[in-house]
């Protein structure tokens, strides 16, 4: 049936004993690795832990980077402004600002941010529709990646469900895949460049976590 079985299950879905609040609706989203995943309609307005977490990730979605990476970018900018290297390097400051502006213009975030949002938006029968478990979300994302032949293909199919939550561009499957490849490569390049600008070991370590090939040399 392809990488992700996005059609409704042929068998009658089993009953799950969720305690659903009045007015809330849970809908099947997709099947991956034989597991059915669900979504809570209008999650942003449920005022639940999962809803608030969705809002937090939505901010990262808009910034096209995680909060930790944004703070790291700002820390490196402050480092350049402080003149720790002996002088204020305006060229590097302009370069960092340019990177942030470039990210804001990206039509979609990185694949990792897409996975992060999906980890919040979609849940299986073992999760509460309302309570967000960050540790379980990490395990869930790892399961998704392990159960598709091409992890980037996950978001070629899942936008069918994600589009109800986030404004993904209305482009073809082929264009979306090319777009993600370019954005992921640019993200990697930017992180490597920022790492090379700082002497802060903690910032280097933090940003290196987001690299496919970590390199903390300047």
Tens digits of residue pLDDT in 93-116: 999 999 999 999 998 888 888 888
Query: 6 with 30: CB under 8 angstroms?
Result: yes
Q: How many CB atoms lie within 10 A of CB 117?
A: 22
Q: Which pLDDT score is estimated for 8?
A: 44
- DSSP assignment, residue 59? H
How far does the chain reach from its first CA to its final CA, in angstroms? 47
pTM equals: 0.77
125 pLDDT higher than 60: yes
Q: What is the Cα–Cα distance from 149 to 165, expressed in whole angstroms?
A: 25
Q: How many other β-carbons are positioned within 10 Å of the β-carbon of residue 115?
A: 21
Q: How many CB atoms lie within 10 A of CB 58?
A: 15
What is the pLDDT averaged over residues 156-167? 63
Q: Which residues are bridge partners to 38 per DSSP?
A: 28, 123
């Amino acid at each position: 049936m392809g990488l992700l079985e996005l059609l409704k299950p042929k068998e009658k879905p089993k009953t799950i004993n969720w305690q659903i609040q009045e007015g809330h609706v849970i809908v099947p989203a997709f099947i991956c690795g034989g597991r059915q995943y669900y979504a809570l309609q209008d999650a942003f307005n449920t005022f639940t832990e999962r809803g608030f977490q969705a809002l937090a990730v939505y901010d990262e979605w808009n910034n096209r980077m995680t909060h930790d990476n944004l703070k790291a970018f700002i820390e490196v900018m402050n480092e350049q402004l402080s003149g720790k290297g002996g002088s204020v390097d305006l060229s590097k400051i302009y370069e960092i600002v340019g990177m942030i502006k470039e990210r804001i213009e990206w039509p979609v975030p990185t694949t990792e941010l897409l996975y992060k949002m999906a980890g919040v938006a979609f849940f299986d029968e073992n999760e509460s529709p309302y309570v967000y478990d960050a540790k379980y979300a990490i395990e869930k994302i790892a399961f998704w990646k392990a159960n598709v032949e091409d992890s980037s293909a996950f978001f070629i199919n899942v936008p069918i469900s994600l589009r109800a939550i986030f404004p993904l561009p209305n482009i073809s499957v082929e264009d979306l895949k090319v777009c993600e490849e370019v954005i992921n490569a640019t993200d990697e390049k930017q992180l490597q460049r920022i790492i090379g600008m700082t002497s802060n070991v903690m910032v280097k370590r933090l940003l290196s976590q987001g690299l496919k090939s970590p390199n903390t040399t300047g």
